[in-house]
Structure 1
């Protein structure tokens, strides 16, 4: 029995995500303008690096309009692409028909994946952890559906290095940015979140993208790997 001076027990489970708020206008803006602008800035190179060498059964969470599909290597035997936004999902279904590997597009959320434990050999997140409602729960779900030893590939914009830009990010995230950018947050500490979720970090490349003369609050990116440790991993 808990006494009056005993601390309340802490629930280790991630919080339930808030109800999904659709962003149809932002979806159209991203597909029609932001996405092509990123392609023109050279994001295809980073998409290729992100997926290079993947093999087996792979899940991509927040697949958007499917621009990663064309970069999948032939070792991928099955790609399950999860996307909750209906407009982007329809575009992803069209991309799936042209993909070099088998792609299944599913309507689901990162925070509640409808797959059994240990279903996939690898997972991919690409410019999505900034906008999910509950990134801790999304990473817990990815950890759950990965097989022991499975690899998570990530390419995300994150918290800036400079204190001045971090202050800008905090101000934007607390006010207008999430409303204007489909729930996006500019300054999330994704590397810490990965470790907290139980992943072991592998290689991490930190760089500015796109490279511009004017500092951008979303310029700091990380691209790398993390692993769900196996049952015999003592780390």
Structure 2
């Protein structure tokens, strides 16, 4: 199942630590109030792990890239909640239907091959009434920047950034998957220190409806 991006993985492992000066506070906000069994999709090098609250009883942290997964395993051993790091893909999550109270997608939906498939999988593993917590960079607000993001996505950006696409409309994809957005904040480089083209970002909560 592993997806190997050895050069990008090493680059990301270093630069993500630098960006954490701006992003760390939003990771804490992303995870605040979570409880029960959580699946984290694309856990990367485990930077969310230190922010999980004590009410979380288990985290299944899915990461397909071997180098990042190895770092995440070390981070999991230092966490205050039980975290199991597993190999797996967003389009085939290693969890049963309705088995998770919450799901976390943090700077990962940009990199999955197909957002709709990944979000359908997240919807599947969440119990009715379960939460999707998301922190993702999305397409720009202005037409000029959107055109640039589109040009990058069709040429060098996915190759350079481990499959990342900088101009996706992730909010629309979340709603298309059947989630109801409960809260959403729009962030910029001024907030997170994440530079263009991976800006702006959205941070929020969406619910799998309790009755379907």
Question: Same fold, TM exceeding 0.5?
Answer: yes
Structure 1 unaligned regions, length at least 5: 1-18
Aligned twin of 2:65: 85
Larger Rg over CA atoms: 1
Q: What does residue range 187-206 of structure 1 map to in structure 2 within 5 Å?
A: 187-206=167-186
Indicate if the aligned counterparts of 2:39 and 2:59 stay in contact, CA closer than 8 A.
yes
> What's the secondary structure of 1:121's corresponding residue?
strand
User: Taking structure 1 as reference, are residues 210 and 91 closer, same or farther at Cα in structure 2, changes over 3 Å only?
Assistant: farther
In 2, Cα distance between equivalents of 1:80 and 1:194: 21
Highest RCO, 1 vs 2 (Cα 8 Å, sep ≥ 6): 2
> What's the secondary structure of 1:47's corresponding residue?
helix
> What's the secondary structure of 1:59's corresponding residue?
strand
* 1:148-207 deviations in Å (ceiling 9; x for gaps): 000000000001101110000000000000000000000000010001101011110001
Aligned twin of 1:37: 18
Does 2:52 match 1:72? Answer: yes
> What's the secondary structure of 1:57's corresponding residue?
strand
Indicate if the aligned counterparts of 1:82 and 1:109 stay in contact, CA closer than 8 A.
yes
Q: What does residue range 1-235 of structure 1 map to in structure 2 within 5 Å?
A: 21-32=3-14, 34-40=15-21, 42-210=22-190, 216-231=196-211
User: Taking structure 1 as reference, are residues 118 and 111 closer, same or farther at Cα in structure 2, changes over 3 Å only?
Assistant: same
Q: Under a length normalisation based on structure 1, what TM-score does the superposition of the two structures give?
A: 0.87
**Over the residues paired in the alignment, what is the CA RMSD in angstroms?**
1.8
Structure 2 unaligned regions, length at least 5: none
In 1, Cα distance between equivalents of 2:113 and 2:85: 21
In 2, Cα distance between equivalents of 1:21 and 1:80: 18
Indicate if the aligned counterparts of 1:169 and 1:187 stay in contact, CA closer than 8 A.
yes
In 2, Cα distance between equivalents of 1:97 and 1:22: 23
User: Taking structure 1 as reference, are residues 181 and 89 closer, same or farther at Cα in structure 2, changes over 3 Å only?
Assistant: same
Counting matched residue pairs gives 212
> What's the secondary structure of 1:96's corresponding residue?
helix
* 1:53-75 deviations in Å (ceiling 9; x for gaps): 00000000000010100000000
User: Taking structure 1 as reference, are residues 176 and 210 closer, same or farther at Cα in structure 2, changes over 3 Å only?
Assistant: farther
Shift, 1:114, TM fit = 2.0
